[in-house]
């Protein structure tokens, strides 16, 4: 066999399809094999290979093992005289394979080679020819001199930017996106170093090939296009951390003994510094709304300080006010979900301002010695209420007036609603067309999901995968919105799926068949004749979860301390005993509780029997208010919240709800939960005793 091509795939179904089609044309005159190693894709990449290219050898991993490990799996299987590592997000020319095979037959000293690699815009991808990052090469690259002086022989050494891109040259390393080498090289050098999860494994392999006495060539006589980063941008690992960690591993592995400690420290410090700067940049981009709010708060309070009657309050008062109000306002915004999934909600920003103002007055009234100027608080509240909701409204106004184009980086960062449509039937196609027409609403359609795999594009958009993989699909596509169609999914199916994604930062909307169908507390957004009903669970919000747990802790602790010294002796004197019991918990778990049983199985008062359950509430396995209690049998029902000592269905008296009603009560409680609702249920339960 002349050549074996190994392709490592990870969630790039359409690129992989295109890559294989172009590759097969280039391989027509050779005896070849194509080996695809799939790193646990969820977008149907393996189904495409099985369905469209059954002759390809497919290796399916049950986890993302990384590029180097997956390449080694393919190399262990390969039988070709020449071995080619090829990225799935590439497209090669018809003459690429023949040009490279002929080159190897002409240059007997060539152990490995790479061709010219272009970006999607036709520019040269600099990584296709490189020098090893020894200190004198790496330092100009790390501090940015290579960008300032690309044609300088000293500063441009790393990517050889001073060399004619059409010139055949002997280089230190070529890109792993197209890395071709002889079988003798693999037999002599071995596989890729699996310590490199992603990035760095290609330059490390080239280093080992050169150490073994072979030459590596950059061959510009043929070219490929590399849509750089398609796999890595969907990865579960942090690309920045992986890249700079790989650089550090390479330096430590190959140069720590060759150079002085001083140069080694400088090089590794430069890598860490670049990595730290990149990480800070990512954090700023991720939390840009929080940062803008913080700046707006500071500006508002500084202006409020200048508006005070003369003489002005001391700056120590201003500083204290600044720190206090920053923590209070941002913390309030986070608690009510402003920074969870609704960063641009001006209504929530207004509510946060009002709550923070009230809290400030309460704080000042309670702790008079820390009192700020009342005028300072009032002016701060007025200005904050204008500034924070104001800049959100202004930004939305600019976007809807097309002053900020929907395709701009700012619009994508702040205003774009990255949307997945669930349901590939007629209603799904209709919604896609409507959303595509009304771009002023900010929906960016990523693609479709459904219960079964679909092998075609739907309404011009890709099929992303099946709903069983929805949490992973949401993560890799950075989804912010999911829209369900009820002609493809039943209400119960939507609720089950909603339960599986409840911990992700995603808004769930449905398009009901009938306009009177609204699930719990929702908001309705209309795109012409399409009502998008937003579904949310109050119980999943951080503030509600925190208040519920604190309430459970305080009440259960007081009851345990006050009544346990009386209940346990009474039970012992009346011949009762403690007995263990297994109960079904939240999300299919189970746990052990204690109950009090009467002598010889004699029934006792239910309150006495269930008193030890309060200890499970204190521990956190149960809640005062929650789902029905079941024995530990997962087949009974999947509980979406903790079992409770009481709940909505227990208030029904003689009318015992059926299983569907019980689930509806549970859904209603989760969607409408508040501390006041818990107190109301507890009081009604006590009155019903």
DSSP calls for 34-89: EEEEE-S-SSSHHHHHHHH-TTSEEEE-SS---HHHHHHHHHHH---SEEEEE-TT
DSSP 643: B
In a domain, 562, yes or no: yes
Q: For residue range 659-674, list pLDDT tens digits in order.
A: 655 666 777 777 777 7
| Angle separating helix axes 542-573 and 675-688, nearest 10 degrees | 30
Question: Strands (DSSP E) along 635-688, which ranges?
Answer: 644-646
Identify which has the larger pLDDT, 648 or 21.
21
Residues 504 and 609 in one domain: no
Rounded Cα distance, 413 and 109, in Å: 50
Q: Write the CB contacts of 222 (distance below 8 Å, at least 6 apart in sequence).
A: 93, 95, 96, 99, 100, 115, 116
Of the given ranges (176-185, 340-349, 556-565, 599-608), which has the lowest mean pLDDT?
340-349
Average the pLDDT over 229-239 and give the result. 46
CB atoms within 10 A of CB 548: 23
Distances (CA, A) of 145 to 150, 155, 262: 8, 6, 21
pLDDT confidence of residue 311 = 72
pLDDT bucket at 83, cuts 50 / 70 / 90: very high
* Structural domain containing residue 497: 416-536
Average the pLDDT over 75-102 and give the result. 93
pLDDT bucket at 264, cuts 50 / 70 / 90: low
Residues 430 and 567 in one domain: no
Rounded Cα distance, 405 and 400, in Å: 9
Determine contact, residues 348/333, Cβ cutoff 8 Å: yes
- Judge whether residue 188 has pLDDT over 50: yes
Coil/strand/helix, residue 118: strand
Nearest partner of 651 among 616, 686, 619, judged by Cα: 686
Of the given ranges (88-97, 218-227, 280-289, 347-356), which has the lowest mean pLDDT?
280-289
In a domain, 262, yes or no: no
Residue by residue, DSSP assigns 385-402 as: HHHHHHHHHHHHHHHHTT
Residues 331 and 425 in one domain: no
pLDDT bucket at 658, cuts 50 / 70 / 90: low
pLDDT confidence of residue 70 = 92
Residues 88 and 133 in one domain: yes
Rounded Cα distance, 639 and 591, in Å: 13
pLDDT bucket at 436, cuts 50 / 70 / 90: confident
Residue where a domain terminates, one of 511, 536, 561: 536
Length of the chain: 689
User: Which long-range contacts (C-beta less than 8 Å, at least 24 apart) are formed by 367-370?
Assistant: 370/320
Determine contact, residues 173/216, Cβ cutoff 8 Å: yes
Residues 550 and 661 in one domain: yes
pLDDT bucket at 58, cuts 50 / 70 / 90: very high
Nearest partner of 83 among 71, 70, 94, judged by Cα: 71
Q: For residue range 275-314, list pLDDT tens digits in order.
A: 677 667 777 777 788 888 889 888 888 888 788 776 766 7
Determine contact, residues 404/439, Cβ cutoff 8 Å: no
Of the given ranges (188-197, 387-396, 404-413), which has the lowest mean pLDDT?
404-413
pLDDT confidence of residue 536 = 64
Percent of the chain scoring above 90 in pLDDT: 20
Largest CA distance in the chain: 98
Determine contact, residues 477/43, Cβ cutoff 8 Å: no
Of the given ranges (201-210, 365-374, 500-509, 557-566), which has the lowest mean pLDDT?
365-374
DSSP 30: S
Rounded Cα distance, 553 and 86, in Å: 57
Phi/psi at 547 (nearest 5 deg)? Answer: -65, -40
Q: For residue range 506-539, list pLDDT tens digits in order.
A: 878 877 654 333 343 445 566 666 666 666 666 6
Phi/psi at 436 (nearest 5 deg)? Answer: -70, -35
Residue where a domain terminates, one of 536, 553, 571: 536
- Judge whether residue 34 has pLDDT over 50: yes
pLDDT confidence of residue 79 = 94
Average the pLDDT over 534-546 and give the result. 71
Residues 520 and 491 in one domain: yes
In a domain, 405, yes or no: no
Coil/strand/helix, residue 592: strand
- Judge whether residue 164 has pLDDT over 70: yes
Measured at the CA of 282, the angle between CA 280 and CA 283, to 5 degrees, comes to: 65
DSSP 626: -
DSSP 357: H
pLDDT confidence of residue 515 = 39
Rounded Cα distance, 413 and 401, in Å: 18
CA distance between the termini of the chain: 82
DSSP 312: P
**How many CA atoms are closer than 13 Å to the CA of 456, on its beta-carbon side?**
6
| Predicted structure pTM score | 0.59
pLDDT confidence of residue 391 = 84
Of the given ranges (180-184, 192-196, 381-385, 519-523), which has the lowest mean pLDDT?
519-523
Computed over its alpha carbons, how large is the radius of gyration of the chain? 32
Residues 578 and 607 in one domain: yes
CATH number of the CATH domain containing 452: 3.40.50.720
Residues 386 and 482 in one domain: no
pLDDT confidence of residue 86 = 94
**In sequence order, what are the beta bridge partners of 595?**
579
Q: Which residue has the tokens 């005793």?
A: 689
Rounded Cα distance, 11 and 464, in Å: 9
Residues 654 and 505 in one domain: no
Strands 110-118 and 178-182: antiparallel
Tally of domains within the chain: 4
- Judge whether residue 78 has pLDDT over 90: yes
In a domain, 525, yes or no: yes
In a domain, 383, yes or no: yes
Determine contact, residues 150/62, Cβ cutoff 8 Å: no
Q: For residue range 360-398, list pLDDT tens digits in order.
A: 777 777 766 555 667 777 888 888 888 888 888 887 777
Average the pLDDT over 440-460 and give the result. 83
Average the pLDDT over 8-14 and give the result. 86
Rounded Cα distance, 51 and 54, in Å: 6
Q: Taken in order 395, 398, 403, 408, is the CA torsion positive or negative?
A: positive
Q: Write the CB contacts of 600 (distance below 8 Å, at least 6 apart in sequence).
A: none
- Judge whether residue 56 has pLDDT over 90: yes
Which range of 8-22, 176-190, 349-363 scores highest in mean pLDDT? It is 176-190
pLDDT confidence of residue 237 = 41
pLDDT confidence of residue 38 = 93
pLDDT bucket at 100, cuts 50 / 70 / 90: very high
pLDDT confidence of residue 319 = 79
In a domain, 617, yes or no: yes
pLDDT confidence of residue 476 = 82
pLDDT confidence of residue 245 = 60
Percent of the chain scoring above 70 in pLDDT: 76
Identify which has the larger pLDDT, 680 or 198.
680
In a domain, 261, yes or no: no
Residues 393 and 308 in one domain: yes
Residue where a domain terminates, one of 536, 555, 585: 536
Residues 434 and 384 in one domain: no
Residues 362 and 299 in one domain: yes
In a domain, 256, yes or no: no
Determine contact, residues 3/85, Cβ cutoff 8 Å: no
651 token code pair: 């208030």
């Amino acid at each position: 066999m002349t050549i074996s091509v190994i392709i490592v795939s990870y969630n790039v179904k359409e690129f992989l399809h295109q890559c294989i089609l172009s590759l097969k044309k280039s391989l027509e005159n050779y005896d070849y094999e194509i080996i695809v190693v799939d790193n646990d894709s969820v977008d149907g990449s393996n189904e495409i290979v099985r369905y469209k290219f059954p002759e390809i050898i497919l290796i399916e991993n049950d986890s993302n093992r990384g590029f180097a490990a997956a390449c080694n799996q393919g190399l262990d299987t390969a039988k070709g005289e020449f071995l080619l590592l090829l990225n799935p997000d590439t497209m090669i020319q018809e003459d690429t394979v023949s040009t490279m095979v002929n080159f190897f037959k002409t240059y007997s000293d060539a152990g490995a080679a790479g061709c010219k690699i272009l970006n999607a815009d036709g520019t040269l991808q600099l990584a296709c020819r490189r020098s090893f990052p020894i200190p004198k090469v790496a330092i100009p690259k790390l501090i940015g001199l290579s960008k300032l002086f690309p044609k300088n022989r000293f500063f441009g050494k790393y990517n050889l930017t001073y060399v004619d891109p059409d010139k055949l040259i002997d280089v230190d390393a070529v890109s792993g996106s197209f890395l071709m080498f002889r079988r003798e090289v693999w037999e002599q050098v071995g596989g890729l170093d699996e310590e490199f999860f992603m990035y760095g494994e290609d330059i490390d392999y080239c280093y080992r090939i050169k150490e073994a006495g072979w030459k590596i060539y950059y061959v510009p006589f043929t070219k490929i296009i590399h849509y750089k980063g398609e796999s890595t941008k969907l990865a579960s690992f942090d690309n920045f951390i992986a890249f700079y960690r790989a650089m550090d591993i390479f330096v430590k592995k190959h140069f720590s003994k060759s150079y002085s400690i001083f140069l080694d420290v400088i090089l590794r410090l430069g890598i860490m510094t670049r990595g730290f700067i990149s990480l800070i940049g990512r954090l700023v981009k991720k939390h840009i709304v929080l940062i803008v709010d913080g700046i707006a708060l500071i500006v508002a309070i500084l202006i409020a300080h200048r508006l005070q009657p003369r003489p002005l309050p001391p700056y120590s008062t201003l500083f204290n006010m600044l720190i206090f109000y920053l923590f209070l306002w941002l913390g309030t915004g986070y608690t009510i979900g402003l920074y969870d999934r609704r960063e641009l909600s001006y209504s929530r920003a207004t509510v946060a301002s009002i709550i923070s103002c009230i809290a400030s007055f309460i704080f000042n009234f309670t702790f008079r010695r820390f009192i700020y100027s009342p005028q300072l608080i009032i002016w701060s509240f007025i200005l904050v209420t204008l500034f924070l909701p104001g800049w959100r409204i202004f930004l939305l106004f600019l976007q809807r007036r097309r002053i900020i184009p929907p395709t701009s980086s700012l619009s994508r960062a702040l205003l774009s609603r990255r949307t997945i449509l669930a349901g590939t039937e007629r209603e799904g196609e209709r919604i896609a067309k409507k959303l595509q027409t009304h771009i002023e609403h900010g929906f960016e359609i990523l693609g479709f999901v459904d219960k079964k795999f679909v092998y075609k594009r739907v309404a011009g958009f890709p099929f992303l995968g099946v709903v069983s993989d929805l949490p992973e699909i949401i993560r890799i596509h950075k989804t912010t919105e999911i829209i369900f169609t009820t002609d493809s999914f039943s209400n119960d199916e939507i609720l089950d799926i909603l339960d599986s994604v409840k911990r992700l930062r995603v808004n769930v909307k449905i398009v009901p068949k009938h306009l009177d169908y609204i699930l719990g507390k929702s908001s309705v957004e209309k795109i012409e004749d399409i009502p998008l009903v937003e579904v949310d669970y109050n119980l999943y919000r951080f503030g509600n979860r925190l208040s519920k747990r604190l309430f459970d802790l305080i009440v259960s602790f007081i009851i345990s301390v006050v009544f346990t010294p009386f209940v346990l002796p009474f039970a012992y004197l009346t011949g009762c005993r403690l007995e263990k019991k297994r109960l079904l918990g939240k999300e299919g778990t189970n746990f052990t509780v204690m109950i009090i049983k009467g002598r010889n199985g004699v029934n006792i008062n239910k309150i006495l029997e269930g008193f030890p359950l309060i200890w499970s509430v204190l521990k956190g396995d149960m809640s005062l208010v929650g789902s029905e209690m079941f024995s530990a049998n997962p087949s009974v029902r999947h509980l979406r919240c903790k079992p409770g000592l009481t709940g909505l269905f227990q208030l029904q008296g003689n009318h015992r709800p059926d299983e569907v009603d019980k689930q509806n009560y549970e859904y209603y409680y989760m969607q409408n939960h508040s501390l006041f609702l818990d107190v109301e249920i507890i009081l009604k339960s006590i009155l019903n005793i």
